[in-house]
Structure 1
Amino acid sequence: MANAQAQTVQVLHWWTSTSEEKAIASLSGRMAQENIVWKNAVIPSGSGIGAGIVLKSRMLAGDAPEVAQLNGVIISEWADLGLLQELDPVASSGKWEKSLFPTVWRLIQPKGHPVAVPLGIHRINTLFYNRKIFAKFDLSPPSNWDEFDALAKKLQQAGITPLAQSSEPWQLATLFETLVLSESDANFYRDAFVKKSSQAFVDPRFGRALSRLRSLKKYMPAPLTERTWIATTRMLADGDAAMLVMGDWAKGELNSWGIATDIGFSCAAVPNTANYHLYDIDTLVMLDKGAAARSAQEKIAQIAVSPVVQTEYNQIKGSIPVLRNPELNKMDSCSQTSWKIFSRGSAVQVPSLAHRMATDEISKDAIIAEIMRFFSNDSLSVSDTQKRLAAISRTLPK
Structure 2
Amino acid sequence: MTRVDAGTVQADTTLQVLHWWTSASERKAATLLASRLADEGVAWRDVGIPGGAGIGAGKVLKSRVLANDAPEVTQIIGVSIREWADLGFLLELDKVATANKWSNSFFPTIQTLIQHRKHVVAAPLGIHRINTLFYNRKLFNSLKLSPPESWDELVLLAARLKAAGVIPLAQSSEPWQVATLFENLILAESGPDYHRELFVKQNAQAVFDKRFTQALERLRLMKNWMNNPVDERPWTDVVRQFSKNEAAMMITGDWVKGELNELGFATDEAFSCTPMPGTGKYHLYSVDTLSMFTNDYSRVLAQEKLARLVATPAVQADYNAVKGSVSVRRDADPARMDSCARASWHAFAQGAATQAPSLVHRMATDESSKDAIIAVIHRYFIDATVTPADTQARLAAMFKTFGSNKKQNP
TM-score (norm 2): 0.94
- Which of 319, 325, 329 is matched with 2:331 structurally? 325
Q: Given that residues 50 and 57 in structure 2 are in contact (C-alpha distance below 8 angstroms), is that contact kept between their aligned partners in structure 1?
A: no
* 1:204-215 to 2 correspondences below 5 Å: 204-215=210-221
Is 1:63 paired with 2:69? Answer: yes
Distance of 1:61 and 1:190 partners within structure 2: 36
- Report the equivalent of 1:191: 197
- Residue 50 of structure 1, CA deviation: 3.1
1:340 aligned partner: 346
Among candidates 372, 382, 385, match of residue 388 of structure 2: 382
What is the match of residue 11 of structure 1? 17
Partner of 2:133, secondary structure, is strand
Q: 1:226-245 residue pairs with structure 2 within 5 A?
A: 226-245=232-251
Q: Post-superposition shift, 1:63? A: 1.1
Residue in structure 2 matched with residue 131 of structure 1 by the alignment: 137
Q: Say whether the 8 Å CA contact 1:126–1:269 is kept in structure 2.
A: yes
Other-structure match for 1:350: 356
Amino acid at match of 1:271: P
Please give the alpha-carbon distance, in whole angstroms, between the structure 2 residues aligned to 1:115 and 1:268.
Answer: 34
Pairs within 5 Å for 1:106-145: 106-145=112-151
1:83 maps onto 2:89 in alignment: yes
Are the equivalent residues in 2 in contact too, given 1:31–1:303 (CA < 8 A)? yes
The offset of 1:157, in angstroms, is 1.0
Other-structure match for 1:147: 153
Q: Give the equivalent residue in structure 1 for 2:282.
A: 276
Instruction: Give the root-mean-square deviation of aligned CA atoms.
Output: 1.1
Deviations 1:5-54 (A, max 9, x none): 97121001110011101111111111000111111112121430032221
The whole-number CA distance in structure 2 between the counterparts of 1:185 and 1:223 is: 31
- Give distance in 2, aligned partners of 1:330 and 1:341: 16
* Structure 2 residue 53 is matched with structure 1 residue 47: yes
Check conservation: 2:272, 2:340, Cα contact below 8 A.
yes
CA contact (8 A) 2:50 2:56 kept: no
The residue type paired with residue 238 of structure 1 is K
Q: Which runs of 4+ in 1 moved over 4 A?
A: none
Q: Which structure 1 residue ranges, 5 or more long, are not aligned?
A: none
In the alignment, structure 1 residue 103 sits paired with structure 2 residue 117 = no
Structure 2 counterpart of 1:69, one-letter code: Q
2:401 alignment partner, SS class: coil
Q: Please tell me the residue identity of whatever aligns with 1:264.
A: A
Q: Secondary structure at the match of 1:260?
A: coil
Check whether the contact 1:15–1:46 (CA below 8 A) recurs between aligned residues.
no
- Corresponding residue SS for 2:54: coil
The percentage of aligned residue pairs carrying the same residue is 55
For residue 335 of structure 1, what is the amino acid of its counterpart?
A
Match of 1:285 among 277, 286, 291: 291
Deviates more, 1:272-281 or 1:61-70: 61-70
Q: Which residue of 1 aligns with 2:306?
A: 300
Once residues 201 and 187 of structure 2 are traced to their aligned partners in structure 1, the CA distance between those partners, rounded to angstroms, is 15
- TM (norm. structure 1) is 0.97
Residue 394 of structure 1, aligned match among 366, 390, 400: 400
Q: Contact 1:166–1:225 at 8 Å: present in 2 too? A: yes
Counterpart code for 1:382: P
- In 2, the alpha carbon distance for the partners of 1:380 and 1:81 equals 39
Q: What amino acid sits opposite 1:327 in the alignment?
A: D
Separation of aligned partners in 2, 1:334 and 1:6: 40
Which residue pairs with 1:92 in the alignment? 98
Q: Tell me the equivalent position of 1:161.
A: 167
Residue of structure 1 in register with 2:272 after alignment = 266
Q: 2:339 & 2:45 partners in 1: Cα distance?
A: 34
SS of equivalent residue, structure 2 residue 183:
helix
After the TM superposition, which of the residue ranges 45-54 and 34-43 deviates more from structure 2?
45-54
